[in-house]
Structure 1
Amino acid sequence: MPPAMTNLMDLWAAHSQLSGEDLVTVDFLLPTGIYIQMDVPREATIQHIKLLLWKQAQSYPLFPSLGEMEGHMFECVNQAAVHEELEDETRRLCDVRPFWPMLKLVTRNCGRAERLLDSKIGVLIGKGLHELDALQDQEVKDFRSKMFRISEEKMQRVQLMTWSEWLQACFSPQLEPGGGATPVTDGVNDKQAEASLKVTMHFDQSQVPNTCLQAKECPHLTLVQVSTVQAMFEKEISAIGAVVNRKSSNPPLPLPPKRRGPSVSQTVCVVRAGLFHGTELLCKPAVSSESSGRSEHVWNRTLEFDITVSDLPRMARLCFAVYAVMDKVKKQKSTKNSGKVHYPVAWVNTMVFDYKGQLKTGDIILHSWSSFPDELEEMLNPIGTIQTNPYTENTTALHIHLPDYNPHTILFPPFDKPLWNRTHSYVTPCELKEIMERDPLSQLCENEKDLIWTLRYDCMENFPQSLPKLLLSVKWSKHEDMAQLQALLQIWPKLSPRDALELLDFNYPDQYVREYAVGCLRDMSDEELSQYLLQLVQVLRYEPYYDCALTRFLLNRAQCNRNIGHFLFWHLRSEMHMPAVAVQFSLILEAYCRGSIPHIEVLKKQVEALSKLKSVNELIKLGTIKNARSKTKEAMLTKEAMMTCLRQSGYTETLSDLHSPLNPSVLLSGINVEKCRYMDSKMKPLWIVYNNKLLGGDTLGIIFKNGDGTRGLDLTLTWCISMLLMMIHWNKMCLCRIVPYGCLATGDRSGLIEVVSSADTIANIQLTSSNVAAAAAFNKDALLNWLKEKNSGDALEKAIEEFTLSCAGYCVATYVLGIGDRHSDNIMVRSTGQLFHIDFGHILGNFKSKFGIKRERVPFILTHDFIHVIQQGKTGNTEKFGSFRNYCEQAYLILRRNGNLFITLFALMLTAGLPELTSVKDIQYLKDSLALGKTDDEALKQFRQKFDEALRESWTTKVNWMAHNVVKDNRS
């Protein structure tokens, strides 16, 4: 069932909270066939509810046959519309949140301790383990079995540790000083035939010598044994008629909504297939014949790939695309032929070799995906997932058949070191150095690739960091080159962890390469690993098999350091709603939990707390809808309902004394209900204020967002990590100040943001200083006067210095990253002087426009009131302004030196689902803003021009801010 299904229990709970009701009517089904309906407290635990039921059942027939109460447990239908066993009876009914208020009493089986742990893990990761048990996928079973064994051994070692050893292992002082595959079928029934686009594929073995594949002394295919084989890797399409959409008897071919422009007179459907290694096309794509019709399409021809089986790389993937060929709409009064247009309909990928390295054989059903990334070449999507679409009801299905090379299975050969073939260099070191020092986005021509491959040993000895460029020069369609590379990797010098990150990009799928890269990452400190953890989690999407070096590395480091484990858990769990990674991420989460059992209760508390906050948010949305006619009444009643809800024992208990998901070293002791509120925006984010004992009585604020638009939290997270990196680089020279506030995606369109204390927006500061909203933006004294009110004497001078350094940091950062939508409510200032930006919904130069006119026409925000503060209110204080400009220039040069790292980090995020970061072309903005490929003098000249432009055109910023202030004032 799709995750978007409405939870009826949630809606009922929200309604009951508005009505002040504390009881819920629940239907109980007993194993004796007796049905009992009774009212139970919403806040009651499952154990207490079972006790109430047991007392009630005594007056019903067949009660004695039930036996002991402890021998039974409840089952319910959860939010995913599957049965869930409520083994953990300490949970409250309001936390269980069944899809329908109905509980079934069943007899408890043996192995309660194991079942209880499984139940806790299932609730924690958001996916019942019985769902994994039900998967008919041997790879899943093998991975779980291996991880279970490793976790069991780890927990046995933990039990033998002393307290000091356990603390050292789980809480690194460095980090925390204070604080499936589809089942094989031989055919399809008629209903399946009506709903599927059927494609049959096979490897043509007509040219394969039988003695090579069938000889008992040669059971496995090796590169040497089949080097003379000329068999082609082929696909035959011989499908019978297929209806793509089953909603009606003869529907038209479904097209993406944004592509519905042309009228459809005659639909022609085509299947395209390509073999890829990373993004490299191994040979020319194969295309089926055109099949005419509106719904049924038949293919009957053989398509050949111009590559031998022996030359297939281990990580080769077969990519399919289905597209319609249609006539363009002819313009009126035009006699010219408008030509043809290709409309993509579906795509799906599969690996050629399975997780054991065995060439795939037999029947495979591939349920395709319909969402296409922009600007796909050949309409194939090699960077897309190899997982098939789990929502099979209305998806195009490709039925693939791969014949079996009986009687022996064909395995990809193990590594066998080839003979050395050293070529001497006839190129000057400067020529090779120029190629090797190019940024990661620079393209290599074929001559340069040939040169790099020929001089690969010179690269190893003189430019070891050039390994990515060497890998892009390998002919992955030649098994000789692959063998030579594997041998070279055995002696290649170890790279620094930052340089090795690039090797985890999608362009480098080879297993040996990725194992080498992970080997380099092992030198990372826990602190450095935590900075790149988000990117490394996203890189897991590129791994075609569940058991890989990167997965094992992340699990090992997470189980050895709870801080890393905490964020690994949330980065994975926040994307469990995405079908392409749901199984993979749930397997990793299960493995982590089994190896970190003491951490389960801590994380469980956080999951329950977020569930409560989501209920409060739904309550507020329901209240605002009911009282939409009266805004004043809405605010009063909804705020009162929110307060009442937060004061309930179930909420106060769950929301108190938990480790903050934003920072596990911070203990959130209890909610300060009087200071809590909801924010006045569409999705009604919650502003939750905590009392914090560990901060000397200070309060701590957290914003909980739930609903549309919060996918940008991931974007903000990326920004925060980038900001953290910038802070680390810049603070070494004390050039700039950055205020990295915590931000964490926690689920489907939901997440948390840390509230920066003692801070206000530029808009509020300006509006409070003027009686006229339109004039507020032009009051250059407002900001300086506000800082004077908050600081005096030496404190004011210190605040101005902090403002100067932080303003420099964000000027450079927003320019380099192309941050847009910089209105006066997206820039804040702390009372101590630090300026910082929030709400990063637009990056990489994607600036907003209205009526075709860009609303932001400056490279970054540098207004005269900022300069007024920097100059301490003295117009002639050019020395202070000169220092500020110098800070900006030096910070920019430091960022340039780390330009390749920033490009790599953004490249690793291409599949994260950020709307403005979907292709390599999007990252080109970084290359341009950092002026990579230019000298420092040339780059500095470019930045100075941008600096002058920002200052010269700052009046346009003030006009935009004036308009924003007027709208805000009218709204209030």
Structure 2
Amino acid sequence: MPPGIYCPMEFWSKGENQNIQVDFLLPTGIYLNLSVPCNASLGAIKQVVWKHAQYEPLYHMLSDPEAYVFTCINQTAEQQELEDEQRRLCDIQPFLPVLRLVAREGDRVKKLINSQISLLIGKGLHEFDSVQDPEVNDFRTKMCQFCEERAAKRQQLSWAAWMEYNFPLQLEPMAKGLGTGLSHTPVKNIFVNVKFQSGGTRGMKQERGILFSGVDSLLHSASCRVFADRSSPCGFMVFSYFFSPQLVVQAGLFHGNEMLCKTVSSSEVNVCSEPVWKQRLDFDINICDLPRMARLCFALYAVIEKAKKARSTKKKSKKAVGSVHYCTKETTDCPIAWVNVMLFDYKDQLKTGECCLHMWSSFPDEKGELLNPMGTVQCNPNTESAAALVICFPNAASHPVYYPSFEQVGNTDVFLRGFLLQLKEILERRSHTELYEHEKDLVWKMRYDIRDQYPQALAKLLTITKWNKHEDVAQMISLLQTWPELPVLNALELLDFSFPDRYVGSFAINSLKKLTDHELFQYLLQLVQVLKYESYLDCELTKFLLDRALSNRKIGHFLFWHLRSEMHVPAVALRFGLILEAYCRGSTHHMKVLMKQGEALSKMKALNEFVKLSSPKATKPQAKEMMHVCMKQETYLEALSHLQSPLNPSIILTEVCVDQCTFMDSKMKPLWIVFNNEETGGGGVGIIFKNGDDLRQDMLTLQMIQLMDVLWKQEGLDLRMTPYGCLSTGDKTGLIEVVMHSDTIANIQLNKSNMAATAAFNKDALLNWLKSKNPGDALEQAIEEFTLSCAGYCVATYVLGIGDRHSDNIMIRETGQLFHIDFGHFLGNFKTKFGINRERVPFILTYDFVHVIQQGKTNNSEKFERFRGYCEKAYMILRRHGPLFLHLFALMKAAGLPELSCSKDIQYLKDSLALGKTDEEALKHFRLKFNEALRESWKTKVNWLAHNVSKDNRQ
């Protein structure tokens, strides 16, 4: 370890007024040790250093202070140049309290911007500079130029257009009709929201020449070297009858998730530190039949032989050698690592020559397959510990081989009009069952009829296309040029990993360009995940997202945080980091806002770590007081004031209300932080900061609930949903919006009861609480709000398979709106205890809910039947939009959520929406679930009883 005092991150979160001894290394070779405040800025520290340096030798050799810049070793053991002298020492958090002054070189403004971008995206730009990859360099140059051009155009905008960009107006979705059952009272003021829409942009067309080769083989030879970081002596004698594990490399060619030909495997070699095969692997496919997006997938695995005694029904024959018996052998494949590589580079050239592929050690859970075609084509950046596979692509010809551009192919098919009815039946099947071979042949033969009469069935046509036949590929790409523009639903489907072809992707993006900003924001979460499927850095989706982000600051804001939150993932850090760099260069004025938010999040994380350390040693009031003392420091007050809310950038958080802040009792001690709102009469804004919990599943669930709300309102049904804000900002860190003036059902029941054991069965507690919050005529409106929202969340939680429902994650607003929180389990992944399923009802509909809906009357069946009607109507609306939910969840498989990793998880949606049934059968199915939820609600009350007794945390 290097000499000096190691300063962990916790060291810098101590009292702001403390001083620290810092070693300063001057350019003249002079060493100074000075005591400086932790919260001092670099500019102030430099003045102190110069004041003391004038009494030291060689002072006359120093230039002006502005000619020098501080450098330090940061917490990741890298040398960092500190260009921004407004930053405080406690925010920089150097690994050692040592600062070195070096002569400033180059353009200071440019270096300052680079330094700020590095800090903002969580990755030094020098790491991109050191990557010896022409694709990275070309992409950076092209995207930076693209974004800077957009920024230059933005500078020429009129005042109104500039305001539209910075503060985009939002159109709140509203029910078309007033027939939702709500009682309406005349109001004096009418608020009108106006929304601007942005137009589309044109894509770029590139043409390439083609050179064919008749060589059948693709991969010439392969060898693998697995580098071990340590060696261990063998502690026992190895005899010949011990089984020795063998290493094997398996390889396969894929186009999306379709295997182009049979996989091939190397021979077996003994396990050693540097195994070598030097073996030729041949694939049963011609080079001319390779699709443009073909990828070569490798898996390194060990063949382990298990010893098993021989079985006999008569006699056990034992042939002993010493004390050892002969045994039968069984083998199992133990996966070690995988890696993927594209066959064509980003310039469309077939790869040749030797390349070293650093492999990934994590494997997908689904099916336990060795090859991982859905995985990234980026190599593992952790080259020191990763296994390295060295392969060599042969020279297929004496000249470079390029993939061709599309060529128009004449229509030589006969219109089979007699099969149109059969074709219609095949294309309109709602189930996603595999087509028979004769059906595939019919679909392919009638592809022109599909284009003209059923253009929305493009995905099915692409699915049956033979991507390992270049003639079919050429005809499909040619046909795509004349295909009509698709609706958004069908365009989103084409972004799935199953359709990797670049022309298909470009066609899908062109169809998405008609999306309004509000609609694009609705699907932004999925579009960011789709970036992980892209094989090359420069793609249409990246340019589309950057273009729209630079045209609307709200989209830019959330695009930034969706990308920034996954910068800790090695497989996407390079791609996401380059996109973030491009966005920052195209929106330098937005960088200041984002840096302020990043500083606030950094302080929240430090505060949370402080609370975690102090809470076990003190009572909650004492820990809360220590938290307040920490927050009242100048550095915290400055960081947590005058910033745009990351959850909603249209809200300005003026100052933090320290006395109203606290922390929650759960394991990770989430912070409950309250801010003043700049808007007049806006009231307080509450934010929960979580550190240690993955919020991505909550984000997805809330996005789906918000989408359901939009779909219902489009059909004239306003169910008073509360899709509160939630944003993942980093590795298991994020923010959740606090719904003010609300309480949990557990707190309401416990506060209205004398004992926790009886609270769950107090059916009057909810109604009495609503009466206390809504006196007089307001009670009827509150009950109506409760009825509508209860119907919405009953349907939403059933369709999405939300689990772990108890009285502490169901809340009610004082206005009567019911809503659910904490979506840690969904898609039917319910919790079990001792092998017993804790979720015993399709959704939560207890008798105390019914008691409120019926206004406290036992015979008010009219109100309850109206509630049932809301549920049935809401369910049937979602069912009509079932494919949209399937596509959105399928696109999220790239996120790596534990409960959304395979097709079985999405199957739950198909079952809950009864997509394989008729409307009449589906409605009957839902009515059975509704009656079951009501009939078995006593089981829910028993669960709530156990929860209330074990976690009596009434407030």
TM normalised by structure 1 equals 0.89
Give the corresponding residue for 1:48: 44
Secondary structure class of the residue paired with 1:581: helix
Give the corresponding residue for 2:157: 161
Give the corresponding residue for 1:639: 624
Give the corresponding residue for 2:201: none
**Higher RCO, Cα 8 Å, sep 6+:** 2
Secondary structure class of the residue paired with 1:348: strand
Q: Confirm or deny that 1:826 pairs with 2:822.
A: no
Q: Confirm or deny that 1:119 pairs with 2:118.
A: no
Deviates more, 1:833-842 or 1:49-58: 49-58
Q: 1:857 deviation in Å? A: 1.0
Q: 1:730 deviation in Å? A: 1.1
For the Cα contact (< 8 Å) 1:731–1:737, is it kept in 2? no
Give the corresponding residue for 1:802: 785
Give the corresponding residue for 2:701: 719
Secondary structure class of the residue paired with 1:350: strand
Q: Confirm or deny that 1:483 pairs with 2:474.
A: yes
Pairing partner for 1:656 from 625, 641, 653: 641
Give the corresponding residue for 1:761: 744
Q: 1:913 deviation in Å? A: 1.9
Deviates more, 1:164-173 or 1:748-757: 164-173
The 3 A distance-change label for structure 1 pair 697 and 917 is closer
Pairing partner for 1:894 from 877, 881, 905: 877
Give the corresponding residue for 1:811: 794
Q: 1:397 deviation in Å? A: 1.0
For the Cα contact (< 8 Å) 1:766–1:779, is it kept in 2? yes
Matches within 5 A, 1:763-778: 763-778=746-761
For the Cα contact (< 8 Å) 2:310–2:328, is it kept in 1? no
> Which deviations, in whole Å up to 9, do the C-alpha atoms of 1:462-494 show, x marking residues without a partner?
111101111101100011111101111111000
Q: 1:133 deviation in Å? A: 1.1
Deviates more, 1:692-701 or 1:957-966: 692-701
Separation in 1, partners of 2:208, 2:897: 44
Give the corresponding residue for 2:533: 542
Matches within 5 A, 1:481-520: 481-520=472-511
The 3 A distance-change label for structure 1 pair 272 and 73 is same
Separation in 2, partners of 1:555, 1:688: 33
Give the corresponding residue for 2:184: none
Give the corresponding residue for 1:619: 610
Give the corresponding residue for 2:689: 704
Give the corresponding residue for 1:267: 245
Q: 1:662 deviation in Å? A: 0.1
Separation in 2, partners of 1:522, 1:566: 19
For the Cα contact (< 8 Å) 2:788–2:870, is it kept in 1? yes
Matches within 5 A, 1:399-548: 399-405=390-396, 407-439=398-430, 441-548=432-539
The 3 A distance-change label for structure 1 pair 120 and 947 is same
The 3 A distance-change label for structure 1 pair 51 and 178 is farther
Secondary structure class of the residue paired with 1:52: helix
Instruction: List alignment gaps of at least 5 residues for structure 1.
Output: 180-218, 253-262, 628-632
**Which amino acid in structure 2 is aligned with residue 616 of structure 1?**
L
The 3 A distance-change label for structure 1 pair 527 and 760 is same
For the Cα contact (< 8 Å) 1:7–1:79, is it kept in 2? no
Pairing partner for 1:934 from 896, 901, 917: 917
Give the corresponding residue for 2:333: 342
Give the corresponding residue for 1:687: 672
Give the corresponding residue for 1:731: 713
Pairing partner for 1:284 from 252, 262, 270: 262
Q: 1:78 deviation in Å? A: 2.5
Separation in 1, partners of 2:368, 2:79: 43
Separation in 1, partners of 2:801, 2:948: 24
Separation in 1, partners of 2:208, 2:739: 62
Pairing partner for 1:310 from 288, 294, 297: 288
For the Cα contact (< 8 Å) 2:17–2:38, is it kept in 1? no
Q: 1:152 deviation in Å? A: 2.8
Pairing partner for 2:581 from 586, 590, 599: 590
Q: 1:415 deviation in Å? A: 1.9
> Which deviations, in whole Å up to 9, do the C-alpha atoms of 1:847-878 show, x marking residues without a partner?
00011111111111111111111111111111
Matches within 5 A, 1:123-202: 123-174=119-170
Pairing partner for 2:210 from 222, 246, 249: 222
Percent of counterpart pairs with the same letter?
A: 58
The 3 A distance-change label for structure 1 pair 220 and 646 is closer
For the Cα contact (< 8 Å) 2:686–2:739, is it kept in 1? yes
Separation in 2, partners of 1:13, 1:755: 29
**Which amino acid in structure 2 is aligned with residue 611 of structure 1?**
S
The 3 A distance-change label for structure 1 pair 543 and 34 is same
Q: 1:164 deviation in Å? A: 2.6
Count of aligned residue pairs for this structure pair: 902
Secondary structure class of the residue paired with 2:841: coil
Separation in 2, partners of 1:418, 1:7: 69
Give the corresponding residue for 2:659: 674
Q: Confirm or deny that 1:564 pairs with 2:555.
A: yes
Give the corresponding residue for 1:89: 85
Separation in 1, partners of 2:366, 2:307: 22
For the Cα contact (< 8 Å) 2:750–2:954, is it kept in 1? no
Secondary structure class of the residue paired with 1:472: helix
> Which deviations, in whole Å up to 9, do the C-alpha atoms of 1:41-97 show, x marking residues without a partner?
222211111111111222222222221100011112223322222111112222222
Pairing partner for 1:838 from 813, 821, 827: 821
The 3 A distance-change label for structure 1 pair 759 and 294 is same
Separation in 2, partners of 1:460, 1:220: 26
The 3 A distance-change label for structure 1 pair 315 and 685 is same
TM normalised by structure 2 equals 0.91
For the Cα contact (< 8 Å) 2:663–2:671, is it kept in 1? yes
**Which amino acid in structure 2 is aligned with residue 934 of structure 1?**
K
The 3 A distance-change label for structure 1 pair 463 and 970 is closer
The 3 A distance-change label for structure 1 pair 427 and 720 is farther
The 3 A distance-change label for structure 1 pair 774 and 294 is farther
Q: Confirm or deny that 1:578 pairs with 2:569.
A: yes
For the Cα contact (< 8 Å) 1:812–1:891, is it kept in 2? yes
Q: Confirm or deny that 1:849 pairs with 2:826.
A: no
Q: Could you list the runs of 4 or more consecutive aligned residues of structure 1 that deviate by over 6 angstroms after TM superposition?
A: 331-336
Give the corresponding residue for 1:780: 763
The 3 A distance-change label for structure 1 pair 841 and 329 is farther
Give the corresponding residue for 1:905: 888
Q: 1:431 deviation in Å? A: 2.5
Pairing partner for 1:382 from 368, 373, 385: 373
Q: 1:236 deviation in Å? A: 2.6
Q: 1:429 deviation in Å? A: 3.4
The 3 A distance-change label for structure 1 pair 729 and 349 is same
The 3 A distance-change label for structure 1 pair 794 and 970 is closer
Secondary structure class of the residue paired with 1:305: coil
**Which amino acid in structure 1 is aligned with residue 638 of structure 2?**
E
The 3 A distance-change label for structure 1 pair 695 and 366 is farther
Give the corresponding residue for 1:258: none
